[in-house]
Chains A and B, each alone.
Chain A
Amino acid sequence: MTTRSFIPLVLLALLGTVFFALFVGFTPDETLNRTASYYATQTVPETGAQNVVTAIIVTYRGLDTLGEVTVLFLTAAIVGLVLAQSKAPKGRSGSGFLPSGELLTTGTRMLVPVILLFGAYVFANGHLTPGGGFQGGAIVASGLLLMLLADPAERFSHRLISRIESSAGLIYVILGLLGMIFAGGFLDNRILPLGWFGSVFSAGAIPLIYILIGLKVGAEFSSILTSLEDTEDAQ
């Protein structure tokens, strides 16, 4: 065994020792810690959301989520920038592939509307059921990926995607600012009535914000997919 393959093993053994010590010394808590029990008891009176994780992401840590969406936007923008130089001429990329089979084409036509509907369901019900804007947006983008797989030469309008993306982001920030004017602070969800606990129109602005996040995330993932798709095949 050479030194070269020996060094990674030594490093990993050291790291594994640290992990092992952490693992052996870990005992799960018996009760929730202070932060978590605050969220557990105060989520319903303060935000009206059934899903505590959603309440944390959209309301209590709403600013972090705005930052996260911004990071995702930057990623999409940089991927577009990095790949822009090797953009395939119109109609070139994907044209060299064999046509996709009948099964994939028909399956795509059948499944894409259902996938888009499911994605919309997931992000509109984020305050009630597991799921939310990020998951729903990813599902929507997976529908787009299926369309790209079925027809690699297909082009989606970059302008439409960036319009959806930027208007969702703008309305998201405006909703946050409205929270500062009409309620307790930036991204406070109580600018709308909290409504009947457990119904779709409840939890104030949370469903609205999560729909916007869903659209924004779906558009960002789609723009990453299309810029990867648009690139020229290397010779």
Chain B
Amino acid sequence: MMLSQIAMALGFSLILLGLYGALTNRDIIRMIVSFTIASTGVNVVLVSVGYLPGRSAPILDEAVPVAEAATRITDPVPQALVLTAIVIGLGVTALMLAYAYRLFRARGSLDISDFTELKW
């Protein structure tokens, strides 16, 4: 099995693991942790898609001459996308934590089954 396939399998399992945690846990903090695990999995999958076997990082220094760049570097676009995704993921996590704090102040509990307003 190649490196990129291992990374991709790992990413997919992290997504499944995170979603499993988010669906089964009753505690809001644990759900937030599960969501961050799932988003890490998405990032790992995206980076592994851009990996080309036997090539080096998209930085054109002494190791990769400019003239040979197109045949020597991996795909830079997924890496740029993942950088964005990581930053936005961090913002989403901070927001979720802030809302969790407000929910705790409002109800004195972080158990999701104590919040029944949106339940049908």
Taking beta carbons and an 8 Å cutoff, which residues of A are in contact with B?
A: 5, 8-9, 11-12, 15-16, 19-20, 22-23, 26, 28-33, 35-37, 39-41, 43-44, 50-53, 56-57, 61, 64-65, 68, 71-72, 75-76, 78-79, 82-83, 85-86, 128-130, 132, 134, 197-198, 217, 224, 227-228, 231, 234
Contact = CB atoms under 8 A, between A and B. Distances in A.
A137 to B, nearest CB: 9
Contacts of B69: 40-41, 43-44, 52
Given A52-B76, A71-B88, A40 B98 contact: no
B7 to A, nearest CB: 11
- Nearest 4 A/B pairs, CB to CB: A75-B91, A8-B23, A52-B58, A52-B76
B59 A29 contact: no
B112 interface: no
A126 to B, nearest CB: 11
Contacts of B60: 43-44, 50-52
B83 A53 contact: yes
B77 A234 contact: no
A234 B105 contact: yes
Residue of B23, B61, B77 most packed against chain A (CB within 10 A): B77
Interface of B: 2, 4-5, 8-9, 12, 15-16, 19-20, 23-24, 49, 51-53, 57-61, 66, 69-71, 73, 75-77, 79-80, 83-84, 86-88, 91-92, 94-95, 97-99, 101-102, 104-105, 108
B78 to A, nearest CB: 9
A46 B20 CA distance: 46
A30 to B, nearest CB: 8
Contacts, number: 143
Nearest to A8: B23
B88 A56 contact: no
A78 B77 contact: no
Contacts of B16: 12, 15-16, 19
Contacts of B94: 75-76, 79, 224, 228
B79 A53 contact: yes
A224 B97 CA distance: 11
Contacts of A37: 70
Nearest to A55: B76
Contacts of A224: 94
Contacts of A11: 19, 23
A129 B59 contact: yes
A49 B36 CA distance: 32
8 contacts: A12-B16, A19-B15, A19-B16, A22-B12, A29-B52, A31-B71, A79-B95, A231-B101
B95 A51 contact: no
